[in-house]
A = this chain, B = another copy of it.
Amino acid sequence: MSLPKAVLLLSGGLDSYTAGAMMRADGYELFALTVRYGQVHAREIEAAREVAKALGVTRHVELDVNLAAFGGSALLGDGEVPKNRPLDEHVIPVTYVPARNTILLSIALGWAEVVGAGAIVIGVNALDYSGYPDCRPEYLEAFERLARLATRAGVEGQSIRVLAPLVHLSKADIIRQGHALGLNYGLTHSCYDPGPGGRPCGACDSCRLRAKGFAEAGLTDPAIRG
């Protein structure tokens, strides 16, 4: 019997690695999609390649969608990545990339339909996160409803699920899960504004959420070299 298939959105960060490993542990065959959308932290693409290998995915596609043509985000080089921002501030930060997850999920949906995958997997998290609207459970449910109407698969009753296994986990719990699964987080890259050689800045939201997660999990981050 063939394994069920899933398309995994793979950024190169620790969340999508963990989400993919959880799916693999659940018996899924993985197809990994990484999008070069014009992110200033293109270092994460190299990490995604390593993670795809570590996950043993069937195929890893890297696709260009140059959202930097539009600008509108510090992650697209439009303004500075904020440093040491209060993480409990209830505003959507300037690192928000307009419609990013909708674009990523849409492309994953197309691929899922082609390979006959019953699921798209996204490593979003709505607890220790930056407050992006397209990481919330109600958004993911709306995308799944849309997918049923959008596709031949949906019309023919073969729905494509949107799975976000980390959505309700804290960063510490995500890291604990990955640790239990034996993942090497040294392969991953999280920083929005890396220095020479891809060195994490330690001060952007993504670095700080990661550091907080490792600290709370009582573990050492193997990507941080003294």
Inter-chain contacts of A145 with B (CB < 8 A): 142, 146
When distances are taken between beta carbons in the complex, the residues of chain B under 8 Å from A142 are 142, 145-146, 149-150
Establish whether residues B98 and A109, one from each chain, have CB atoms under 8 Å apart when the complex forms: yes
Contact B70 A110 (CB under 8 A): yes
Oligomeric state, in copies: 2
Question: Residue-by-residue, is A182-195 near B (CB-CB < 8 Å gives 1, otherwise 0)?
Answer: 00000000000000
Residues of B with C-beta under 8 A to A152: 92, 96, 98, 133
Write the chain B residue with the least CB distance to A76. B114
- A residues contacting B by CB (< 8 A) are 61, 63-67, 69-72, 92, 96-103, 105-107, 109-111, 113-115, 133-134, 136, 138-139, 142-143, 145-147, 149-152, 154-155
Using A133-B152, A134-B149 as known contacts, list a sample of 11 further A-B pairs with CB atoms less than 8 Å apart, ordered by residue number in A: A65-B65, A65-B107, A67-B107, A72-B113, A96-B152, A97-B110, A98-B151, A99-B109, A101-B150, A133-B151, A142-B142
8 A-B pairs (CB sep. < 8 Å): A63-B69, A98-B110, A98-B151, A102-B109, A134-B149, A139-B149, A142-B149, A145-B146
